[in-house]
């Protein structure tokens, strides 16, 4: 694939979609729920996804789209070029806070992440990465992550599913021990931003029970370009097709985290 050309289009569409969201940020939202009363979707999620689907199909008719809100293709493999799109990651933040949400686009070729773009819309900050060419924040290259700082001086992002006792995996995991071993934890409510913050070095790890491929696709490219490691919660490679647990962290603490603490094998 012509990575440079695809990146140029992807970048300009992300900025255009972000501008549209910012312009309408105070307009009334049509809010629906999906699987649960707290699983929100708005007309802006759908409109933004349609914007990308139309642009991609028009410019790259042989590419496929794997996306959250139903405007993409019916995907059962990652052959060829696939755009993995989350039009608004952090919809709950979008609805309740009008900030702390992102557009996330990963472009994969035959299952390999080639391009990752995460746009923090309200702050107008674009994180971008091309496989093998490093990661950038608004055009400034992000340095490689530390490979020496220990867990005890690390901040991890976690969400509150780890507190739910009915979750069998929580009881089996060493998550409480992990929290005690860390310097502290944070919870931002947008998986894409959590990956971007890890890539930027303001977080050292992100562990979560359950994400979809569009939550991860761009973030994985970014984090790997600064030397971080992204796996499932049982230290396996991510399939990028199914719902999965995730452990993402700086290289020197990833294995320790996943093997000694997360331990989702049990």
Q: Which residue has the tokens 């996306």?
A: 67
Interacting residue ranges for Ca ion, rule: CB under 5 A:
68, 86, 88-89, 215
Helix (H, G, I), strand (E, B) or coil at 51: helix
**Smallest separation (angstroms) from ligand IPD to the CB of 211:** 5
Closer residue to ligand IPD (CB): 204 or 215: 215
Q: Which stretch binds ligand IPD (CB under 6 A): 86-94, 126-134, 148-156, 177-185?
A: 86-94
Find the angle CA(131)-CA(142)-CA(178) to the nearest 5 degrees: 90
Residue 262, both tokens: 């997360």
Q: Which does 185 bind (CB under 5 to 8 A by kind): ligand IPD, Ca ion, none?
A: none
Contact 20, 143 (CB under 8 A): no
Q: Which stretch binds ligand IPD (CB under 6 A): 19-27, 55-63, 183-191, 245-253?
A: 183-191
Contact call for residue 49 and ligand IPD (CB under 6 A): no
Cα–Cα distance measured from residue 216 to residue 102, given in angstroms and rounded to the nearest whole number: 12
Helical spans, DSSP H, in the chain: 3-23, 43-59, 91-97, 168-172, 175-181, 191-200, 213-225, 251-255
Contact call for residue 219 and ligand IPD (CB under 6 A): no
Query: What single DSSP character describes residue 62?
Result: T
Cα–Cα distance measured from residue 222 to residue 227, given in angstroms and rounded to the nearest whole number: 9
**Smallest separation (angstroms) from Ca ion to the CB of 209:** 14
Instruction: Report the residue closest to ligand IPD, judged by CB.
Output: 191
Q: Which stretch binds ligand IPD (CB under 6 A): 210-218, 219-227, 241-249, 250-258?
A: 210-218
**Smallest separation (angstroms) from Ca ion to the CB of 52:** 12
86 among annotated binding-site residues: yes
How many other β-carbons are positioned within 10 Å of the β-carbon of residue 24? 13
Residues 141-180 that bind ligand IPD (CB under 6 A): 159
Please give the residue ranges that form the binding site for ligand IPD (CB under 6 A): 68, 86, 89-91, 159, 189-191, 210-211, 215
């Amino acid at each position: 694939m012509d990575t440079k050309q695809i990146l140029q289009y992807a970048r300009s569409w992300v900025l255009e979609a972000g501008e549209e969201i910012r312009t309408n940020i105070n307009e009334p939202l049509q809010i629906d729920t999906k699987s649960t009363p707290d699983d929100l979707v708005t007309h802006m999620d759908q409109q933004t996804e349609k914007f990308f689907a139309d642009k991609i199909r028009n410019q790259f008719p042989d590419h496929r789209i794997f996306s959250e809100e139903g405007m993409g293709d019916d995907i059962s493999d990652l052959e060829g070029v696939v755009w993995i799109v989350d039009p608004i990651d952090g919809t709950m933040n979008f609805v309740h806070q009008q900030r702390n949400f992102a557009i996330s686009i990963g472009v994969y070729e035959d299952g390999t992440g080639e391009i990752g773009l995460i746009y923090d819309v309200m702050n107008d900050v674009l994180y971008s990465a091309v496989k093998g060419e490093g990661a950038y924040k608004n055009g400034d290259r992000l340095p490689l992550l530390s490979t020496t700082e220990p867990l005890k001086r690390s901040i991890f992002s976690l969400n509150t599913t780890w507190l739910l006792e009915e979750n069998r995996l929580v009881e089996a995991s060493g998550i409480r021990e992990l929290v005690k071993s860390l310097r502290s934890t944070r919870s931002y409510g947008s998986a894409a931003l959590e990956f971007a913050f890890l890539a930027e070095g303001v977080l050292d790890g992100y562990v979560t029970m359950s994400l979809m491929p569009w939550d991860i696709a761009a973030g994985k490219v970014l984090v790997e370009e600064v030397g971080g490691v992204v796996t499932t919660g049982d230290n396996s490679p991510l399939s990028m097709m199914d719902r999965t647990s995730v452990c993402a962290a700086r290289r020197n603490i990833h294995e320790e985290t996943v093997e000694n603490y997360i331990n989702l094998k049990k």
